[in-house]
Amino acid sequence: GNSVTQMEGPVTLSEEAFLTINCTYTATGYPSLFWYVQYPGEGLQLLLKATKADDKGSNKGFEATYRKETTSFHLEKGSVQVSDSAVYFCARYSGAGSYQLTFGKGTKLSVIP
């Protein structure tokens, strides 16, 4: 079936540190891939997305590249800020015949000054 596996946290980093959150997905079909962010007490917001192999999604200094050969979509940011503290979810969407949006378990990131 469709699944997403992401690095489990929590992750604690100092401000300006480099961030990587790993995410791998099952290779069934040709999914679109996403990173969502959830700030405390809120719903999820789309952070970035990629719809085909080798696409790079980017937003607010975050980047992730759709790697078909390694079935990965790792999230990176070169210099994190305290305001980046949140829970990050990797997700895949398979529209053809399935219509399922499947999430990883989420990674809680805390950035300390």
Q: How far apart are alpha carbons 106 and 36 in whole angstroms?
A: 9
Q: Give, as one character, the DSSP assignment of residue 82.
A: G
Mask for 53-82, x = binds another protein (CB under 8 A) = ------------------------------
The residues, any chain, with a CB within 8 Å of residue 66's CB and separated by 6 or more, are 33, 50, 51, 52, 53, 54, 55, 56, 57, 73
Interface with another protein in residues 39-58 (CB under 8 A): 41-46, 49, 51
Comparison of 74 and 89: residue with beta carbon closer to another protein = 89
- The three-class DSSP label of residue 84 is helix
Should residue 11 be labelled a site residue for another protein when binding is judged by CB under 8 A?
no
Q: What is the contact surface with another protein in residues (CB under 8 A)?
A: 32, 34, 36, 41-46, 49, 51, 89, 91, 93, 95-96, 99-106
